[in-house]
Amino acid sequence: MVKTKRIPKATITRLSIYHRQLELLEFDGYRQVSSEKLAWLCQVSPAQVRKDLGYFGGFGVRGVGYDVIELQAQIREILALNKVWNLAVVGIGNLGSALLRSGSFAMRGFNCIAAFDKDPAKVGKPTSAGVPIRHVDELPTAVRDLQVDMGVITTPASAAQWVADMFVRGKVNAILNFSPTRIYVPDCCLVENIDFTIKLDILTYRLTHGSAN
């Protein structure tokens, strides 16, 4: 289905946004949606919607629009959301615990199956989600045995690189990093950094300079 050309990262991000809006449209009883309406809901242009979807083939019918349920299924296939992905979380503080018990992860096919920490008071106990907390030193072996697909880092910045190295040793090639520092991994490993402080900086800039965009 996917053409051989490189797909822009921004397009993949927008596909995820389209998928969430399509879910809401289905919940509200819609069965068809135009590119104009979908674009308005996602705050992009209709041309952008058509261009993004065009990377992956022809969708929709001219003058009719897109089938809401069918387009959801097609985007799920593109994003590989039609399978279950096993996640391991390292750093079982407030954020790590919240991620483990988040029902939205499971709803989207992300199964938090492992938890790691170095605090002796936590190791050996279950999280509020019922996931047993292992010592972080067990990480490389445990993630291989449990067939973990993605690692999630919620540790302090000082520990993030070491944890990333442990994930790489365990052959985990995708990491979601919530720690407020950049981590360095081999080219075989994918990393997405989520730094809340950067987002707050952007908000303060927009508030100060009156920018709504």
Domains defined along the chain, listed by start? 9-78 (1.10.10.10), 85-197 (3.40.50.720)
Q: What does each C-alpha distance from 86 to 23, 126, 145, 154, 172 come to in angstroms?
A: 23, 18, 12, 17, 10
* Per-residue pLDDT band at 61 (split at 50, 70, 90): confident
Rounded Cα distance between 51 and 84, Å, is 29
* Residues 110-137 pLDDT 10s: 999 999 999 999 999 998 888 999 999 9
Name the pTM for this structure: 0.86
